[in-house]
Structure formats: C-alpha cells, structure tokens
Structure 1
Amino acid sequence: MVSTRRKRRLRRASTTVTLLAVAVTAALTASCTAGHGPADDGRGRPRSPAPQHSAVRPVLAVKIDNAPAARPQTGLDAADIVYAEQVEGGLSRLMAVYATRLPPVVGPVRSARESDLELLRQFHDPTLAFSGAQHKLLPLIDRAPLNPQPPTKATGAYFRGTAKPAPHNLYLRPGRLMRSAPGPRALTTGFRYGPAPAGGRAETTRTIRYPAAGFTFTWSPRLHRYLVAMDGTPTVTTGGKRVAPATVVVQYVKMRRSAFHDFLGNNTPYSETVGSGRASVLRDGRVYDVGWRRATATDGTTFTTRDGKPVDFAEGQVWVVLARAS
C-alpha cells in the first residue's frame, strides 16, 4: 500500500510536469506570433504579410520590344493584359502580363523603365523579365517588391534568335522561370468582367498616337475582337496569327519627365498610373467614356461610368494604352 506521504509527492510531481508543459507551449506560441516582422522573401527584402494575397501566385510580366525591327513579336497573343507605354523619342514599348497560360516563347525582350515599377505594384511579388535597364535604375528595380529576372540572373531562360538583328532578337522561355501559369486569381488589376454596360456609342475604329508611334484597333464582328495594327501595319505573331484583344482601354495619364535618359540624351517619360482621370473603354464595337481611379500603387485600377457604376470588360485579352492626358 502506498503511504500518504508518497501520494503527496506523486501529486506534486504531476503538477510540476503539467505546468512545465503549459509554459513551453506558451513560449513556442509567442515566439511564432509576437514581436517578429514579415518573413524575408529570399532576396534580402521583407515580404508583406498581405493575408489577401496568401494564396495568390505571382504573375509573369515581360517587357517586349515594339520597334518596327522587332516585329512580329512572339507570344503576345497569349498575354492576359498588354500595356502600351510611351518611351524615349516618342516610341512605344509593351509590357505583357501572363497569368492564365504561359506560351513556350515570348519576345523580343527589352529593357525596363521606371514607370514599370509603379505599374507592377498592383500585383503580388510579380516576376519581371527584362533585358536590362539604365545603370542608375537598376538599384530601384532591386529594391522594388518584385522578382527581377534579367538574362544575367536567369541565363538558362533566355536565348538569341537568328531571324532578327540584335538587340531585337532576345527571347524568353517562360517555363524556365515558372513551373506553371499562376491562374486568373493572380490578376489583381481591379478589372471586372461581365456584360457590357448600358449606353456607349458605336465606334468601330480607334487610333492612339504617340509622337513616333501609333496604335489602331478595329472591331471585327466575325471574331468579336479588335484587330490590332501598329504604325499602320497589322499586328501578327511570328506564326501569322492576328493579335485581337476583346477589350481595349485608352487610359489618359499624366506624363512627366523622369530622371533618366537614353544614350542619345532623350528623356524617359514617366507615366503616372496612380491617381485618377478619364479613359475610353472599347468593347463589342462600342466605346464608353469613363473615369479611372487607382488610390495607391498597391491597388488595382477601377473604371466607372459618370454615375459611378463599375464598367465590366469583355472576357479575353485586354490592351491598356497609356496616353497623355490633355
């Protein structure tokens, strides 16, 4: 029979073990949840906790050459969104965003601009494929909340083609940067898709001009898409397929001088995509005069009618042409 003194010693030992277990559990919980900043993203930069993005994978954004010598481009028809922006000398350059599918090859790939950093803030940790940048811009790219992947960093993802002269012959294999497409949830642009809004007016052709470049979008009732032409020439892929978005947005933005120039001394314009202004949305052979708003760089852009109703885009590729506000 166990003595009364022995029973008391056993009860004290059991209580001590229980208290130690509780203390250890509390300490481990505190170390995981309190007093610590966001985790490092693997490139020496803190990753935003952003719970709304916890299940969102990064999009792939590719800077695409749009000089006449670079055409026809490859993989442009597979992009979910194509942004057209003005660069030095009044020329144009494209940024294609891929989320729902990755084509085997994209290009020609060219250099990044300062405006791209603000434009890409709407996405969660996007991967940016580009051929390089002005040396003073590179530190800004390295500090931006994105995953830069130039050829110097991802040598196996790029190759030089033989059909065009350099520098218009650098191409990307997206599958070397991403195992698979991130899916439509990665398109945190603020765009809405659905039936056409009421109103609008019939317009089958719209041309937007930069000082040394032009874009024309012509409605095709047969394809139910807009046929793209650049500088008066139909835009086709290297396989001969017409590039034909379902929706075209002409977004009028403030363009100002940046702190950067090209090697000829031409200033690089900065297109401000945070703020508000007017826009034209082309879909289904009609045009809608709307307003756009992007409150902060991490927000997407909303488009609304004059009475404040959101404007839905047609399902399919979207082109956004950043034009100078008057």
Structure 2
Amino acid sequence: MATVGTGRGARTRRGTAGALPSALTAALLTVLLAAGCTGPGGSADDGRGSTAPSVREPRPSGADGPSVLAVKIGNTPAARPHTGVDAADVVYVEQVEGGLSRLMAVYATRLPESVGPVRSARESDLELLRQFHRPVLAFSGAQSRLLPLIDRAPLEGVTPASSSGAYLRGTDRSPPHDLYLRPGRLMDDPPGRAALTTGFRFGPPPAGGEPEDALTVRYPAARFTFTWSDADGRWPVSMDGVPATTTEGGRLAPATVVVQYVTVRPSDYRDFLGNTTPYTETVGSGRATVLRDGRAYEANWSRPGAGDGTSFTTGDGERMHFARGQVWVVYANAA
C-alpha cells in the first residue's frame, strides 16, 4: 500500500545536492560484463535466469518506427545516486518486493552516456510498456518463468547476456548495484518525441488547482517527497528523506509529477528470497494528483486497453496538460 501526504503538514525542507566524491567518468570503468556471471545461480541480477549471449548491432534511426528506450533501474539506498535518470523524458516509480521501489526510465529525446544501475524486470512492466510502440527494454534479467512472456511481448528485450557490449560494470559498488547500460550501443540516435506514445499532453495549466509546497508518497519501505522550487520551476525529489542526486552531482527535479492511484495486487511470481512480487495494474481508470507550476490538480486517468496511452483529464472533463520537461509518474495503491 502507498499513502500520500500533501499540504503544509507534509512540507519538507528543500535540500541541496552535495558534491559527490567523483564524477561519472571516474566512477565507472569501461569493463565489459561477462554474460551471466553474477548473482546466485549464475544470473545477471538476483538469482534470475537469462538468455544466451549474442552480438547486437545498434538500432538504426527510424528502424520499425520510433521506439523509446526503457531502462529498469534499482532504487534501494545502495543503488543511489543514479546515473542518467535526469536525461529521461518519463520516469515511472513502482512498488516491488518488500515494499521497496524501482524506477523505469524512458528515453526519447536524449540518450545519456550511461544509465543505471540496471536491475531486473517484472511482469507488470510488460503491461506498462504496451503504451509505447515496440520499446527497447534494457534489464539485467528476469525470473525464468517470466522470460517467455518477455520474449512474446511487443518489445525488444536487451540483457547483458544478449548484448554484453552494451553494458559495463562500475568499480565503486558491489553487485547487483554496479551494472550500467551504454544507450549508444543500442541506438544510433534518440528516437524523438514522436516515440512518446503515452497519451500525455503538454501545454498551459488548467484553471484552478491548489498551491502546493510538497507532496510525499509512501510505500511500505520507501518514501518519495517532491518539493516545489520557485527558483528552478521544478519539483526536486527526495527519497527516504535524502535529496535525490545524480552521480555527477545534479538534483533530480521533474517539471511535472503525477501520483496515479492504481490497483497493486499480488502476482503469481516471487523473488529469489520468496517474497511475493506486486503487480501494478496500469490499464483501467482512476484518480490522480498532478503537480505542476507550484500547484496540485486533482485529475482522472484512463487507459482503456494495454495498447492505449494514458490520458488525464480535469474534473470537468478537459485534457490535463503537463509542464514541458521531465515527467515522473508515481504509482500509488488506490486501496
């Protein structure tokens, strides 16, 4: 279950990102990952299966239509600070085992030099990504029973085993938090804004809304706070009470934050420790809170089918426009 706190009773002090010990270029060495060499059972992540190694050429620009790059990213304290998340067009936050969280960063207009740390996929990721046209999904591995579903899904899965040259291991962290993707090894160029077939609309804000300083979303074992910054015109992120920064020292700060209330139920899968994996249902309809321009707007969301984008409307049925810039979508349990 996720709970949300808003308003002045939920305010948090605006943090300032401190300088990190080293920049990305010093933190990461270009050490190629040998396929399937970490984790219990020889998997590339946390005891989950993988596929046989092969060589993969970068996707040419425009091949099979515009396709976003989606990267599954770890989000425990040991996985922070993140690399390349600030370049994503959309960042999805979802609950995983033990009440923790993971991120799905989606890239269309920019490809950073590196992204990570890359972690394993979940069943609900397949439904989430159906709103994009044949996305490229970069992930470290998956439970063996889930791999056939990933193979049949309308996406292109890329793991260290299938494309070892696209990944590297950092030297400043321990596995499984040391795996990074090099997007330039998968795509020649970013696919462009047309690949964001999510249903989002960008433009001026609607009338109304309530002034908002901060909003906090709580999972059983994770917490996200978005605090409005007048100076930056964005919502700097804190995770578990700590300012969320990048490996280069910048602050993660989206222009729009969407708290989307959904059904989060147990799936038929468990992790290698035996914990049940939550399934986040992203098809259907419900309510949402949209943060933009220092205000909070109550909205409704709708996604009739898995192949449809997710639309947001105001209480009077008008399309909800987002502020231009990065969007964070935080899935909170409606129950």
**TM-score interval w.r.t. the shorter chain?**
0.7 to 0.9
Tell me if structure 2 keeps the 8 A contact 1:276–1:293.
Answer: yes
Cα distance, 1:204 vs structure 2: 1.2
Within the alignment, does 1:208 sit opposite 2:217 as a pair? yes
Distance of 1:150 and 1:268 partners within structure 2: 21
* Distance across 2 between alignment mates of 1:111 and 1:137: 11
Residue 156 (1) aligns with residue 165 (2): yes
Indicate conservation of the 8 Å contact 1:163/1:169, yes or no.
yes
The secondary structure found in structure 2 opposite 1:164 is coil
| Counterpart position of 2:193 | 184
Q: Aligned partner of 1:216: which letter?
A: T
Partner of 1:271: 280
Measured after TM superposition, the shift of residue 256 of structure 1 is 1.0
Paired residue total: 274
Percent identity among equivalent residues? 69
Q: How far apart are residue 55 of structure 1 and its match?
A: 7.7
SS at match of 2:228: strand
Q: Structure 2: how far apart are the matches of 1:185 and 1:73?
A: 26
Letter in 2 for 1:259: D
Q: Where does residue 30 of structure 2 map in the other structure?
A: none
Given candidates 99, 111, 115, the residue that maps to 1:102 is 111
Instruction: Map Cα deviations across residues 114-149 of structure 1 (whole Å, 9 max, x no partner).
Output: 010000001111000000011111110001000000
In the alignment, structure 1 residue 232 sits paired with structure 2 residue 237? no
1:142 aligns with one of 151, 160, 173: 151
Larger radius of gyration: 1
CA distance in 1, matches of 2:303, 2:282: 7
Q: Distance in 1 between matches of 2:67 and 2:85?
A: 19
Match of 1:288 in 2: 297
For normalisation by structure 2, the TM-score amounts to 0.81
- Correspondence 1:74-153 to 2 at 5 A: 74-153=83-162
Partner of 2:174: 165
Q: 1:54 to 1:188 in 2, by over 3 A?
A: farther
Tell me which of 77, 83, 91 is aligned to 1:68. 77
Q: Which secondary structure state, in structure 1, belongs to the residue aligned with residue 188 of structure 2?
A: coil
1:268-294 per-residue CA deviation (whole Å, 9 max, x = no partner) reads 000000000000000001000110000
Match of 1:32 in 2: none
**Which residue of the partner structure matches residue 16 of structure 1?**
none
Counterpart of 1:306? 315
2:67, 2:84 → 1: CA distance? 19
Measure the CA separation in 1 of the matches of 2:262 and 2:148. Answer: 26
Partner Cα distance (1:55, 1:313) in 2: 28
Tell me the distance in 1 between the aligned counterparts of 2:82 and 2:64.
32
Structure 2 alignment gaps of length 5 or more = 1-61
Structure 1's consecutive aligned runs of 4 or more residues displaced over 3 angstroms after TM superposition are 53-56
**Higher RCO, 1 or 2 (CA under 8 Å, sep at least 6)?**
2
**Which letter does structure 1 place at the counterpart of 2:289?**
S
Tell me, what secondary structure is at the counterpart of 1:225? coil
**What's the offset of the Cα at 1:54?**
9.6
Alpha-carbon distance in 2 for matches of 1:257, 1:139: 20
**Could you say if the C-alpha distance between residues 166 and 55 of structure 1 is closer, same or farther in structure 2, counting changes exceeding 3 Å?**
closer
- 1:56 positional shift: 3.6
State whether residues 200 and 288 of structure 1, in contact with CA within 8 Å, keep that contact through their aligned partners in structure 2: yes
- TM-score (norm. length: structure 1): 0.83
Q: 1:10 matched to which residue of 2?
A: none
Q: Which whole-Å CA distance do the structure 2 matches of 1:253 and 1:203 have between them? A: 22
Judge conservation of contact 1:56–1:185 (CA < 8 Å) in 2: no
| Structure 1 residue aligned with 2:227 | 218
Amino acid at match of 1:234: P
Q: 1:252-307 CA distances to partner (integer Å, 9 max, x unpaired)? A: 00011101001221110000000000000000010001100000001100100111
Letter in 1 for 2:241: G
2:208 corresponds to which of 199, 207, 217: 199
Residue 175 of structure 1: aligned partner = 184
Ranges in structure 1 where 5+ consecutive residues have no aligned partner: 1-52
2:330 partner letter: V
Q: Distance in 2 between matches of 1:312 and 1:180?
A: 28
Give CA deviations for 1:28-60 in whole Å, capped at 9, x if unaligned. xxxxxxxxxxxxxxxxxxxxxxxxx99841100
Aligned letter for 2:201?
A: R
